[in-house]
Amino acid sequence: METSSDLSSRVRLNIGGKKFCTTIDTLTIREPDSMLAAMFSGRHAMCQESKKGYVFIDRDGKHFRHILNWLRDGVAPSLSDPDCSELLREADYYQLLGLKDGIKDSRREVGEVEAELTRIDIIKCIQSERVRFRGVNLSGIDLSKLDLSLVDFSYACLRNVFFSRTNLQCAKFRDADAEGSIFHNAILRECEFTSANLRGALLAGTNLQSANLQDACLVDCSFCGADLRTAHLQNADLTNANLEGANLEGANLKGAKLSNANFKGANLQRAYLRHVNLREAHLEGANLGGANMTGAIR
């Protein structure tokens, strides 16, 4: 039988439409510094859905069961590479540092290639001027919150690297493979991503003003709320990319592939969209004032 204290500690969650039931202890004990622990510590008033008692979190609930199992048991799941990248992205959002480390350890155990350098190595390197990591394998490293401005990552393997809140102003990523990497809230002003692979990368909230993304693979990328003013996106592949609420004022999208791209609520004032196929893009609520749309297919 459940006691009244058991019932009072129970938490109902709605993660992007998927329903979960757990306890406050599960959400707070194993990862006390996480966003979930902060939410349910009692320090903040929680907004619940009326009459249903669910706390809504606007994230994809696909992998949240893995997060709960980690918080319960402390065992990181073994997943395929695409699912693992998605779970790492969610772990970064919820600030579950233990889970991130557990996933990386699990990947090493199944024989994935390890990065050539560690975070500590990187920190030592950036103390010198004009740092280059051209062609180096840095996959899976946590480089969040560092000052990596002007660093040259051209041709490097940067798969699933954590660049959250990192200063990367004027850094070079030419022909780099950064598939699945997380740049959440990073500073990327005037960066060069020419011909880079950023498939599935998280760039929400980033500052990409005047960045060069020409010929880059941006399929399935998230640019929600990003600042892309005067960015160069010529011939970039933005298929299925999410640019909802992004600021693309004055951006150049000549020749870009925009199939199923989401521009809802985006600012496209004075953007260059000549001869671009917009037929399959989502432009509801977008501001197209002054945009050059000569010959665009709509």
Mean pLDDT of 199-227: 95
Mean pLDDT of 142-155: 92
Number of H helices, E strands in the chain: 7, 3
pLDDT at 125: 73
Provide the percentage of residues in the chain whose pLDDT is more than 90: 60
Whole-Å CA distances, 231 to 8, 134, 200 = 51, 23, 19
Q: How confident is the model at residue 45 (pLDDT cuts 50, 70, 90)?
A: low
User: Mean pLDDT, the chain, as a whole number?
Assistant: 87
pLDDT at 1: 45
Q: How confident is the model at residue 78 (pLDDT cuts 50, 70, 90)?
A: confident
Mean pLDDT of 83-108: 82
CATH match of 4-109 with 2.40.50.140: no
Model pTM score: 0.64
Alpha-carbon span 106 to 91, nearest angstrom: 15
Q: How confident is the model at residue 128 (pLDDT cuts 50, 70, 90)?
A: low
Mean pLDDT of 180-188: 94
Residue 46 confidence (pLDDT) above 60: no
| Tokens at 286, concatenated | 């977008």
Q: How confident is the model at residue 108 (pLDDT cuts 50, 70, 90)?
A: low
In sequence order, the β-bridge partners of residue 262 are 242, 282
Residue 4 confidence (pLDDT) above 50: no
Residue 50 confidence (pLDDT) above 50: no
Are 208 and 188 in contact by the 8 Å Cβ rule? The answer is: yes
Hey, where are the domains in the chain?
4-109
**62 against 1, higher pLDDT:** 62
Query: Residue 15 gets which letter from DSSP?
Result: E
